[in-house]
């Protein structure tokens, strides 16, 4: 399909084109073929290009901001079935008293519908790509294939019972079966859950597998004070030091979720690593975990992206809420309103997350030759007007409900606020029925 978006305000998120401009975007198949500013006389320059002989679907971009789709770099999609179920608890109580018992009741079919509920919310709020760590990953991969989203999928690995080896085999099967599937929209990683659930012998096994299959690693790190205490008691190390000494950062691309409790020595261990840290500000705030030192990480050359964590903790999957929270938290933590500007916060949710997922060559910015993963935001609304500085408007005032159109791989997943690849009433019905059964009596 060939699509032209006409007369839109374009935000490329490229440092080489740092200012929004009025223009047109031409999409041919799954890629952006051209981005052309509107001439000073209002003329659409695309009409005079060699490719104007094609038949186009024209989308009016008047009063719209077009930007790269948002990238949620850390998620647990089936936990949408548990949103609002166990709020106002400490993390370990939340896990042990509520999450683990509820998750133990989830069937593969529950996970399929829970992931679809998350995908509906993400598409509606402008997320085009996400990274997921969970169980029953074949069902989640099938949902990704059907909805048209882009995803990096990871089978979460925990140890300490007799199913550990079976989980590893499932992780290997995910990589073999789904890497590059769904027209290249699905990529895979290996996913040791966290330092406190993965002893040294098993961590070394996962590192060896990731090297063998040439896949990245996605792991939680230093989310809570309790985790730091557990690792200190077991190994006389910090969680970051523990992973560093095991060699996780030597050869592999690694995505570290949270990174809240990192001291200066820990940050030194991460300096020079391939990959980086996924900041999850809303979840960290809601669970009282703390504020990740993301400005300091960036100053040390460590890539930082943005994620929501699962809806069981964050409740919302709206990445615009994460963008706001990320900026506000750094300004408050440093006592400096100049820290993490609006533009820098938007970068976390686009090119920053793309780099963490190893997808920055394909998505995260709007450029000719890259995948056509983009969103259109309706600016003609009272809470978004007047627009003095568009980056500030988007970072501090926009919400997911302002997204008008969501596109991945050149395919419209939502247009004019209507989902096109999901049966929304069916998803809501299935999710509601299953969620009630899962939490009953817990």
Residues 273 and 410 in one domain: no
- The pair of structure tokens assigned to 368 is 């000719």
Do 415 and 376 fall into the same domain? yes
At residue 39, the pLDDT reads: 61
Structural domain count, the chain: 2
Kindly report, residue by residue over 61-102, the tens digit of the pLDDT. Answer: 999 999 999 999 999 999 999 999 988 888 778 888 988 899
| Domain end marker among 356, 386, 401 | 356
pTM summary value: 0.96
Residue 193 reports pLDDT greater than 60: yes
pLDDT of residue 48: 44
Shared domain for 47 and 106, answered yes or no, is no
- 343 band by pLDDT with thresholds 50, 70 and 90: very high
Residue 430 lies in a domain: no
User: In terms of domains, do 327 and 343 share one?
Assistant: yes
Q: Are residues 90 and 234 in the same domain?
A: yes
Distance, in Å, from the CA atom of 304 to the CA atom of 297, rounded to the nearest integer, reads 7
Q: How confident is the model at residue 40 (pLDDT cuts 50, 70, 90)?
A: low
Looking at the DSSP bridge assignments, the partners of residue 313 are: none
Whole-angstrom distance, CA of residue 141 vs CA of residue 156: 14
| 35 shares its domain with 156 | no
What is the percent of the chain with per-residue pLDDT over 70, rounded to a whole number? 96
pLDDT at 44 over 60: no
Reported as a pLDDT band with limits 50, 70 and 90, residue 16 is confident
Nearest to 278 by CA among 254, 250, 313, 299: 254
| Residue that terminates a domain, selected from 356, 376, 409 | 356
pLDDT at 43: 57
**pLDDT tens digit string along 235-251?**
999 999 999 999 999 99
Instruction: Judge if 63 and 152 occupy the same domain.
Output: no
Same domain, 200 and 64: no
Same domain, 257 and 288: yes
Beta bridge partners of residue 254, listed in sequence order: 217, 275
CATH code (residue 245): 3.20.20.140
Q: Which range marks the domain in which residue 402 is found?
A: 2-68+365-419
Report helix angle 164-178 to 137-147, nearest 10: 20
Does residue 183 have a pLDDT over 80? yes
Give residue 324's pLDDT band: very low, low, confident or very high (50, 70, 90).
very high
Neighbours of 199 (CB within 10 A): 14
Answer yes or no: do 277 and 305 share one domain: yes
Query: Residue 42 above 60 pLDDT?
Result: no
- Would 121 be classed as within a structural domain? yes
CB 33 within 8 A of CB 26: yes
Verify that 275 and 136 share a domain, yes or no. Answer: yes
User: Is 228 contained in some domain?
Assistant: yes
Q: For residues 248 and 295, state if they share a domain.
A: yes
Helix (H) or strand (E) holding 238: none
Render pLDDT for 147-169 as a digit per residue (tens, 0 to 9): 999 999 999 999 988 899 999 99
- Angle between helix axes 137-147 and 108-124 (nearest 10 degrees) is 40
For residue 259, pLDDT over 70 is answered with yes
DSSP 8-class letter at 382: G
């Amino acid at each position: 399909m060939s699509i032209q978006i006409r007369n839109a305000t374009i935000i490329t998120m490229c440092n080489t084109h740092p200012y929004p401009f009025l223009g047109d975007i031409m999409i041919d198949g799954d890629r952006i073929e051209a981005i052309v500013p509107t001439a000073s006389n209002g003329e659409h320059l695309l009409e005079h290009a060699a490719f104007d002989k094609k038949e186009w679907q024209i989308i009016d971009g008047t009063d719209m901001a077009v930007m790269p789709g948002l990238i949620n770099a850390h998620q647990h999609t089936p936990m949408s079935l548990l949103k609002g179920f166990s709020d106002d608890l400490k993390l370990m109580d939340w896990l042990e008293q509520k999450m683990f018992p509820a998750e133990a009741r989830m069937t593969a079919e529950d996970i399929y519908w829970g992931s679809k509920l998350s995908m509906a919310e993400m598409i509606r709020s402008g997320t085009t790509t996400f990274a997921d760590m969970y169980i029953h990953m074949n069902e989640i991969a099938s949902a990704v294939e059907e909805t048209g989203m882009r995803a990096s999928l990871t089978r979460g690995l925990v140890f300490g019972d007799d199913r550990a080896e079976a989980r590893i085999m499932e992780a290997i099967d995910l990589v073999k079966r789904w890497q590059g599937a769904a027209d290249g929209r699905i990529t895979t990683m290996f996913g040791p859950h966290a330092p406190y659930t993965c002893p040294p012998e098993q961590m070394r096994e996962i590192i060896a597998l990731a090297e063998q299959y040439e896949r990245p690693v996605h792991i939680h790190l230093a989310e809570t004070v309790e985790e730091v205490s557990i690792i200190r008691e077991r190994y006389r190390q910090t969680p970051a030091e523990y992973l560093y000494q095991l060699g996780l950062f030597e050869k592999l691309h690694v995505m570290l979720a949270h990174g809240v409790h990192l001291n200066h020595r820990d940050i030194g261990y991460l300096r020079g690593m391939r990959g980086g840290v996924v900041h999850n500000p809303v979840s960290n705030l809601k669970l009282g975990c703390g504020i990740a030192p993301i400005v300091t990480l960036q100053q040390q050359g460590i890539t930082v992206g943005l994620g929501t964590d699962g809806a069981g903790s964050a409740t919302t999957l709206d990445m615009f809420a994460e963008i706001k929270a990320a900026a506000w938290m750094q300004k408050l933590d440093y006592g400096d309103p100049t820290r993490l500007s609006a533009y820098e916060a938007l970068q976390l949710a686009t090119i920053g997350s793309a780099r963490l997922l190893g997808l920055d060559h394909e998505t995260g910015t709007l450029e000719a030759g890259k995948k056509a993963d983009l969103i259109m935001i309706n600016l003609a609304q009272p809470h978004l007007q007047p627009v003095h500085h568009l980056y500030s408007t988007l970072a501090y005032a926009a919400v997911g409900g302002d997204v008008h159109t969501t596109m991945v791989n050149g395919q419209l997943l939502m247009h004019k606020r209507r989902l096109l690849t999901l049966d929304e009433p069916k998803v809501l019905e299935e999710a509601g029925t299953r969620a009630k059964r899962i939490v009953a009596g817990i």
